[in-house]
Structure 1
Amino acid sequence: MAIVIRGSRVLLPESDGLQPATIIVDPNSGKIIQVHRQLLPDNSLPAHLRLIDAGENVILPGLVDAHVHLNEPGRTNWEGFYSGTKAAASGGVTTVVDMPLNSIPPTVSVADLIVKRASAQGQCFTDVGFWGGVIPGNQGHLKPLVDAGVKGFKCFLIESGVEEFPCVNESDLDGAMSALEGQPTTLLFHAELDYHSHSEPPASDPSSYSTFLHSRPDAFETDAISLITRLQAKYPDLPCHIVHLSSSKALPLIRSAKAAGLKLSVETCFHYLCLSAEAIPHGQTVSKCCPPIREASNRELLWDALKDGTIDFVVSDHSPCVKELKKIEEGDIMSAWGGISTLGLGLSLLWTEGSKRGVSLSQIIDWTSVKTARHAGLCDQKGKLQTGYDADFIIWNPDAEFTVTKDSLNFKNKISPYVGFQLRGRVEKTFLRGNLIYDSINGFEGVKLLGNLL
C-alpha cells in the first residue's frame, strides 16, 4: 500500500511558511515519490493506501542531530544506541550522528568503526551516522576511515576528559590536515585552547558556577579559533567546523574568516541558547558543560549570530554520564562530569525560546535539519520533505505546553537541567521512512527498530 501524508500546515522546501500539502511515499523504499502543494481529495488518492492525516497539526521534516555522544560500547551505562535513539525519536529527531568518544574504543580506526557499528546494529530507533576521531599518531587511519564512510573527524585542542581520546597539538594537526586535504570530509574542532593558566583562585568555592566559568574563560575559545583559522590558510581545501560555540567574543574572528572565504562552519547548542550563567543555582552540577554556559548577554549575541548566519546551525551535544559522575549530592561543579543531556527536548526548547525572539519554524528547521544534514553529508536524502528524500517527518503541535519531568525523559540517565522547565510545542508522532517510531500517546508500543547505519 502506498503511504499518503496529508496536512493543512506542512513545511516544504523553499517555503517560509506552512501550507497545505499531500505527500506520497513508496512503502518499499520509504522515499518520497510525489509532493503536491495542496490537499488532495480522497478520490484522487491511490486506491490502496495508508493515510497519515495530521489534521490541524504541523508536518515538519525529521531533525538531524549532528552532535550526539551515544558512548556504546564501553560506557553503555552512560548511554547506548537503544536508549539514545529512543530519546531522539521522542523529540522528532530521525537521524543522529555519533561522536567518536566516549565509547571504548573511540572511533579512531576502521577496526574501531567496525566494533561501533556492530554494537549499534539492530538497536536503533533512528538512523545513525558516525564521526571519526583525530588523535596523536592516527594520521594513517584517516583516509581509510573516510573510505569506510565516516562523516568527518573530530579533534580536541584541550583535554577531552577521557584518557583514550587525547588532545592534539599543532604538529598533530599539521599531519592530520595534510592527510585529509582533498578528501570528501570535514575536520571538527573542540575549540578550547589553554595557552595560559586559568585555574580558579585558591579560595574559590567549587560549588559556585562562577568558579567554573572563571576556569574556562572566553580566551580559551578565541585562542583556539585563531589557531584553526591560521591553519586553514595553509590547508584551504579542507572544510573545518567549530563544534559547540559558546563565546560571543569569537564571533568577530568567525565573521572575518568567512568573509575571507575560508571553508569554516560553526554550530552552537540548545543549552547556550536557552540557559544563562546567572540563573544556574549554587551547586547545580547538571548545568556543567565544556565550553561553559555564559552570561545572558552572551546568549543574546549567539541568537543574533544564528539569525544572521554567522552561526550555521544548532545541535544537542547530548553528553550524558552516570549520576555518580555528576556529583549532584556533593554539589561540586569543578569535579563533576561536563556534559548536558538534551535528546528529545531540542525542538521544544528552540521553539519556546525562539518564539520570544521572532524566530519562525522555518528558521528552526533550517538550523536543526536542513543545514545539519548538509554538514553530515546527508543533504541528498535527509532534512527536507522533497521528492527523492527519505520520508522522515514529525507531526508537531506548536501550541501544546508541557512541563519537563524526570519520568518524561527517554535517555538512560535521567539527569538534565531542563527538568521543571515549562516548554511549548510537542512532538505528537515521529516517522522514519514513513514508519511510526514514536507516538506521544502510546510511546514506543509496537514500534519496530528500523534505524539504518549510514
Structure 2
Amino acid sequence: MDLVLRAERVLLGGEIRPAAVAVAQGTVVDIGPPDAAYAAQDDVWVPAGAVLLPGFVDTHVHINAPGTDWEGFATATEAAARAGITTVVDMPLDSVPVTTTVEALRIKQAAAQSDSCVDVAFWGGVVPGNLGALHPLAEAGVRGFKCFLADSGNPDFPHLSPAQFRAAAAEVAALDAVLLVHAESHAVLAASPSPSGAGYASFLASRPDSAEVDAVALALDTARSTGVRLHLVHVSSGQTLELIADAKAAGVAVTAETCPHYLTFAAETIPDGATQFAACPPIRACANRDQLWSALADGTLDMIVSDHSPCTPELKGDGDFRDVFAGISSLQLSPRAAWTQAAERGFGLADLSRWMSERPARLAGFTDRGHISVGARADLCAFDPDTADTVHAAELRHRHPVSPYDGSTLRGGVLATWVAGDAVYRSAGVAA
C-alpha cells in the first residue's frame, strides 16, 4: 500500500463508522477495521474528533485564468485544498479566451496543469457563435456545457435568446451531455430598475424573483421538448422551487444547485454599502433562505456548490451597487459555510457529503469520486465538524481578500486533504 488512513469515524455508505482505508496507486483498494494489518509507506491516524470524508467536489468555480488577474489556478486550487475540495470544475467565462472552442480549452488545460494542486476539469461554453459546433468540445473532454439566458457581464460570452437556447438544448441532447443554464430572464432584467447607490434593496430590486421564474420555466419547457439533461445553476429564488419539483415528478431530467451564500445570508441583514454581498442572482430574504433549505431536504435542490466568482477589489463597487461586479468569493469557505448552517438545522455530515461530494461528482460525470469505496479514487479529507473559528479574508488563499464571510464565525475545519492518495494539505499537528 502507498497509504493507509485509519479513523474512528469514516463516512461509508451514508454511515459513520470506524475503518481503515487502504490506498495504492491513487485508488482505494481495501477498507477494513481501523487496526487492520496493512503495510504501507504512509500510515496515518486521522486525529480524534475528525471524520474521514470523500473529498468535496465543486462544480461551479470561476478561476478566471488565463488572461485576468482576478483568480489563478495556483491560488484557487490551494484554497480548494484547504477546504477539503479535491475536484473543481471551471466555468467557461471570465478568462481570456473564453472556453467556447477546443483551442481555448487547450489553453486553459495547459494553465491548470502547471499550477493546480487538486483535480481540475472544465465546462464548455455555449454562445450564439458556436451553436452547431459543440461536438469538438465534447470530444475534447469538457464535462458538459454552460449557457446564459441573460447578460453574462462579459461581451465575449453573450447570452442565448430563447430560440437559440432551444437549439442549444437539442444539440447538447444529441451529444448525450448535460446543459447548465444561468436561469435569469434577459427580458425581465431589462425591464427592471437599475441598481443605484449604497442601498442593497436597489440591487435586489434590479434582479427580481420573476427573472428566475421566467427563465426556469423556459428551461424546463425546453428540457421537456428536447430531452436534454438540464442543470439549473445557483438557484436563489424560492418561487422557482415548485416548478422544479413538478418537473422532477413528471420525469424531466433536471437537477438544480444552490450556493452557501444563499443558504447563509439574508437581504434584511446586508448593510448599506456592503457590495461584497452582491451576486447574480441576488441574496434574497430570510424566508426565502428557509425555502431553499427545505428544498435541499426534500430533494428539489440536489446540491450545494460555491459559485466562487472573484474579481479584483476595485471592481467590487466601493460601496455603490450601481458599479459593482456581482460575484461571491468563497471557495475556501464553501463546505464550512454550508456545514455551519446545516448543522444548526439538524442535518448531518452524510447530508453535507451528498450535497457537496456525491451529487456534484455525478453531475460532472465522475463515477470514481464523491464516495469512499473500493475502486474509487482516493480523494479524501479529514474534517473536524465541531471546531469553529472566525474568518479573516486576508488570510484566505484566494488571490484577493474580499469576502462577505469576513468576520463570520464558521463551524468545521479541514485537517488534511488527499488527492488520488497524495497529501495536498495538512494542518499543523497532522502526522505526515
Gap regions ≥5 residues in structure 1:
447-454
Give 3-state SS (helix, strand or coil) of 1:363's partner. Answer: helix
Distance in 1 (alpha carbons) for counterparts of 2:282 and 2:185: 14
Q: What amino acid is the match of 2:107? A: V
> Partner residue of 1:318?
308
Asked if the contact 2:55–2:84 (Cα under 8 Å) also holds between the matched residues in 1, the reply is yes
User: Is 1:30 matched up with 2:26?
Assistant: yes
> Partner residue of 1:222?
213
User: Is 1:394 matched up with 2:394?
Assistant: no
Residues 261-272 of structure 1 mapped to structure 2, 5 A cutoff:
261-272=251-262
Distance in 1 (alpha carbons) for counterparts of 2:225 and 2:337: 39
- From 80, 91, 98, give the equivalent of 1:99: 91
User: Is 1:73 matched up with 2:66?
Assistant: yes
Asked if the contact 2:151–2:186 (Cα under 8 Å) also holds between the matched residues in 1, the reply is no
> Partner residue of 2:226?
235
Asked if the contact 1:193–1:220 (Cα under 8 Å) also holds between the matched residues in 2, the reply is yes
Q: Residues 442, 416 of structure 1: CA spacing in aligned structure 2 closer, same or farther, 3 A cutoff?
A: farther
Q: What amino acid is the match of 1:71? A: N
Q: What amino acid is the match of 2:340? A: T
Distance in 2 (alpha carbons) for counterparts of 1:389 and 1:250: 35
User: Is 1:373 matched up with 2:369?
Assistant: no
Asked if the contact 1:430–1:438 (Cα under 8 Å) also holds between the matched residues in 2, the reply is yes
Distance in 1 (alpha carbons) for counterparts of 2:312 and 2:22: 43
Q: What amino acid is the match of 2:369? A: K
Residues 296-375 of structure 1 mapped to structure 2, 5 A cutoff:
296-328=286-318, 331-375=319-363
Q: Give CA-to-partner distance per residue, 1:250-278, whole Å, 9 cap, x none.
A: 01111111111111110000100011101
User: Is 1:8 matched up with 2:8?
Assistant: yes
Give 3-state SS (helix, strand or coil) of 1:121's partner. Answer: helix
Distance in 1 (alpha carbons) for counterparts of 2:38 and 2:311: 49
Residues 438-453 of structure 1 mapped to structure 2, 5 A cutoff:
438-441=425-428
- From 404, 409, 426, give the equivalent of 2:396: 409
User: Is 1:248 matched up with 2:238?
Assistant: yes
Asked if the contact 2:80–2:332 (Cα under 8 Å) also holds between the matched residues in 1, the reply is yes
Distance in 2 (alpha carbons) for counterparts of 1:414 and 1:436: 26
Residue correspondences, number: 429
> Partner residue of 1:58?
51
Residues 127-276 of structure 1 mapped to structure 2, 5 A cutoff:
127-196=119-188, 197-200=190-193, 205-236=196-227, 238-276=228-266
Asked if the contact 2:196–2:321 (Cα under 8 Å) also holds between the matched residues in 1, the reply is no
Distance in 2 (alpha carbons) for counterparts of 1:274 and 1:132: 30
Distance in 2 (alpha carbons) for counterparts of 1:120 and 1:358: 38
Give 3-state SS (helix, strand or coil) of 1:97's partner. Answer: strand
Q: What amino acid is the match of 2:168? A: A
Asked if the contact 2:82–2:332 (Cα under 8 Å) also holds between the matched residues in 1, the reply is yes
Distance in 2 (alpha carbons) for counterparts of 1:336 and 1:286: 9
Q: Give CA-to-partner distance per residue, 1:82-110, whole Å, 9 cap, x none.
A: 11111111100000000001111111011
> Partner residue of 2:35?
40
Distance in 1 (alpha carbons) for counterparts of 2:149 and 2:142: 21
Asked if the contact 1:108–1:141 (Cα under 8 Å) also holds between the matched residues in 2, the reply is no
> Partner residue of 1:449?
none
Deviation at 1:389, TM superposition (A): 0.9
Distance in 2 (alpha carbons) for counterparts of 1:164 and 1:91: 31
Asked if the contact 1:198–1:216 (Cα under 8 Å) also holds between the matched residues in 2, the reply is no
Distance in 2 (alpha carbons) for counterparts of 1:121 and 1:39: 35
Give 3-state SS (helix, strand or coil) of 2:358's partner. Answer: helix
Deviation at 1:442, TM superposition (A): 8.3
Asked if the contact 2:58–2:306 (Cα under 8 Å) also holds between the matched residues in 1, the reply is yes
Q: Residues 183, 416 of structure 1: CA spacing in aligned structure 2 closer, same or farther, 3 A cutoff?
A: same
Asked if the contact 1:198–1:217 (Cα under 8 Å) also holds between the matched residues in 2, the reply is no
Deviation at 1:233, TM superposition (A): 2.1
Give 3-state SS (helix, strand or coil) of 1:402's partner. Answer: strand
Asked if the contact 1:323–1:413 (Cα under 8 Å) also holds between the matched residues in 2, the reply is yes
Q: What amino acid is the match of 2:334? A: G
Runs of 4+ in 1 over 6 A off after TM superposition: none
Root-mean-square deviation (CA, aligned residues, Å) is 1.5
Deviation at 1:127, TM superposition (A): 0.1
Normalising by structure 1, report the TM-score.
0.92
Asked if the contact 1:137–1:172 (Cα under 8 Å) also holds between the matched residues in 2, the reply is no
> Partner residue of 1:123?
115
Asked if the contact 1:70–1:81 (Cα under 8 Å) also holds between the matched residues in 2, the reply is yes
Deviation at 1:205, TM superposition (A): 4.9
Distance in 2 (alpha carbons) for counterparts of 1:245 and 1:64: 18
Q: What amino acid is the match of 1:381? A: D
Q: Give CA-to-partner distance per residue, 1:296-342, whole Å, 9 cap, x none.
A: 000000000001100000000000000110023xx101220000000
Q: Which moved more, 1:400-409 or 1:301-310?
A: 400-409
Asked if the contact 2:196–2:203 (Cα under 8 Å) also holds between the matched residues in 1, the reply is no
> Partner residue of 2:421?
434
Distance in 1 (alpha carbons) for counterparts of 2:263 and 2:221: 28
Asked if the contact 1:110–1:141 (Cα under 8 Å) also holds between the matched residues in 2, the reply is no
Normalising by structure 2, report the TM-score.
0.96
Deviation at 1:2, TM superposition (A): 2.9
Deviation at 1:115, TM superposition (A): 1.2
Q: Give CA-to-partner distance per residue, 1:343-396, whole Å, 9 cap, x none.
A: 111121112111111110000000000000000001x21111111111111111
Q: What amino acid is the match of 1:11? A: L
Structure 1 or 2: more helix by fraction: 2
Give 3-state SS (helix, strand or coil) of 1:419's partner. Answer: coil
